[in-house]
Chains A and B, each alone.
Chain A
Amino acid sequence: MDKQEVRQVVLDIIADVALDEDVSNLKDDVALRDQLDLDSMDFLDIVMELKKRHQIEVPQEDYPQLASMQSCVEYLRPKFQ
């Protein structure tokens, strides 16, 4: 998967987790928390959805890697190979 595809995967998940919030204008280098109303429950959901849809495991100590879209893509891309 290229970066754009990984980004789309993450975006789809966030769109589902954040229900009816607008995710079309997310800035990649700004923390997701600062742009969307995401709390720790939502981050758990993002991790659970990654596991459910793509069999990707994110251990708890790696949660900080999911802070922004950019860091998500960098961290997750190798896991999609």
Chain B
Amino acid sequence: MTSQTTHTFDREYDTIVIGAGMSGLGAGIRLAMFDKKVLILEKHSISGGLNSYYTRFKRPFDVGLHAMTNFSPRGERKSPLGKLLKQLRIKHEQLNLSEQKHSTIVFPDTKLSFTNEFSILIEEIAQKFPHEIDGFLKLVDEIKNFNEVSLKNEYQAAKSVVSTYLKSETLIEMIFCPLLIYGSAWEDDMDFSQFVIMFKSIYLEGFCRPEGGVRTLLNLLLETYEQRGGELEFKHGVEKILYDGKKVIGVQTTKGEKIKANKVLSSMGAPETYARIDEQEKKTSAQTGRMTFTETIFITDKKPSDFGFHETIYFYNNRNKYLYRNPQTYYDDQSAVICFPNNFQDDDNPEGIIRVTFMADYTHWKKLLSEDRKAYREKKKEMGETAYDVVKKLLPNSWDAKIECIDTFTPTTIERYTGHFGGTVYGSPDKSRDGTTPYQNLYLCGTDQGFLGIVGSLLSGISMANLHVLSQ
């Protein structure tokens, strides 16, 4: 066939994992644990990917952490969190998880609150949508009995399934709102399996936060990986995935090294991975997702709880319908996710923090950044002001805290630091449920295998390593 070039390799591994985000680290730990010679290559200078951290204004910031979904208490072993801790041999108490207080979905005429105690949401729905409660309970039964993690599930539009149980358009929109914005690569609707995953992880299990934020988790993962003998190289990206016409045989790195590997596990995303294979060997493509976000983080001198405000996360929507779609402009200010990290049971932050996420369009930000940096900065500033107006509407009238500093990131920031095309967070709408690709010995893990969020992507890495390397 093609590519008759013979390669001389500098080093050799059983498996190369591309990316030290959650899924790459999860996969790496499993492989190292069972004595596979494994190398994680990470292009950035630190780990975490979409859920990393940085320091600005002399303060620690988390990139993505609003809340860890899938909370389950210590001793629970069948839950996604229980499974992943068991598989990585990490103890629940090492994460020091603190549960949310309560969160609320806010629509123009109705609010629905929920906590990690599912009965609260049932009561809320019974009270505010009395005609829907029977249907809702039946839907919950179907969800509980559905095997959402089966690698064979076909795409099924979730809204059409849910509307067989519920009649109220508003209730349907409200239930979908947190699930879409916390995990859908598709606009307006999502795959039913993904809906079930998100429903369980948010409503049935719930939100929590590790003490110290995402650093705690990442440090634990890195430590575990190192103790198990895994190798990790930062600032060392994969430039090309080498394919000999029959199978993948290794990678070529940004430092010009050629490294041989029996298997390559990629957490970069599907389109990003396929773009690293020689054009002439092209066998497939995956679309770049259209959903991306901006986030503005406010550090304040007082905390929301000082004003009697205890919401953990607000899912705010100012329209009757919830438009989960690319806004075709810089950002959509009619809906937002607002996270108050101080409002978990234990608050280890010395200052007030408010995070506001808007849906955004990558193209607008990209164009502005490349044409006019000053205008880009102005736009960020304007967005911050808009975001703070939304926050003030939701906080008690007495709120008078002073803003100490503001940090904003846009889809171009996400692209720059994680390499995700179009600054996507939930990846491509084309998922590979079983992690296989048209290229032998090349597998996907993480977001584009279909499991996302912190817990989801860790589990993805674990299960892809189990399936494609350890059980072979």
> Which A residues have a C-beta under 8 Å from some C-beta of B?
16-21, 37, 39, 41-42, 44-45, 48, 51-52, 60
Residues in B neighbouring A21, C-beta threshold 8 A: 77
Q: Identify B83's interface contact among A16, A20, A39, A52, CB under 8 A.
A: A39
Contact B466 A41 (CB under 8 A): yes
Residues in B neighbouring A17, C-beta threshold 8 A: 86
> Which B residues have a C-beta under 8 Å from some C-beta of A?
33-35, 75, 77-78, 83, 85-87, 89, 91, 462-463, 466, 470-471
Specify the chain B residue showing the minimal Cβ separation from A42: B86
Contact A39 B78 (CB under 8 A): yes
Residues in B neighbouring A16, C-beta threshold 8 A: 89
Q: Identify B87's interface contact among A20, A37, A41, A52, CB under 8 A.
A: A41
Contacts A41-B466, A44-B471, A60-B471 given; does A18 touch B86 at CB 8 Å: yes
Task: For the complex of A and B, list the 6 residue pairs with the smallest distance between their C-beta atoms, beginning with the closest.
Answer: A37-B77, A48-B34, A19-B86, A52-B34, A44-B466, A37-B78
Q: Identify A20's interface contact among B91, B462, B463, CB under 8 A.
A: B91
CB distance from A46 to the nearest CB of B (A): 12
Specify the chain A residue showing the minimal Cβ separation from B462: A41
Contacts A21-B77, A37-B77 given; does A48 touch B86 at CB 8 Å: no
Whole-angstrom distance between the alpha carbons of A42 and B462 in the complex?
A: 12
Contact B91 A19 (CB under 8 A): yes
Since A19-B77, A41-B466 are in contact, a sample of 13 more A-B pairs with Cβ atoms closer than 8 Å, ordered by chain A residue number, is A19-B86, A19-B91, A21-B77, A37-B78, A41-B463, A42-B86, A44-B466, A44-B471, A45-B87, A48-B33, A48-B470, A51-B34, A60-B471
CB distance from A25 to the nearest CB of B (A): 17
CB-defined A-B contacts under 8 Å, sample of 18: A16-B89, A18-B77, A19-B85, A19-B86, A19-B91, A37-B77, A37-B78, A39-B83, A41-B83, A41-B86, A41-B87, A41-B463, A41-B466, A42-B86, A48-B34, A48-B470, A52-B34, A52-B35
Residues in B neighbouring A37, C-beta threshold 8 A: 77-78
Residues in B neighbouring A20, C-beta threshold 8 A: 75, 91
Residues in A neighbouring B85, C-beta threshold 8 A: 19
CB distance from B92 to the nearest CB of A (A): 9
Specify the chain A residue showing the minimal Cβ separation from B34: A48
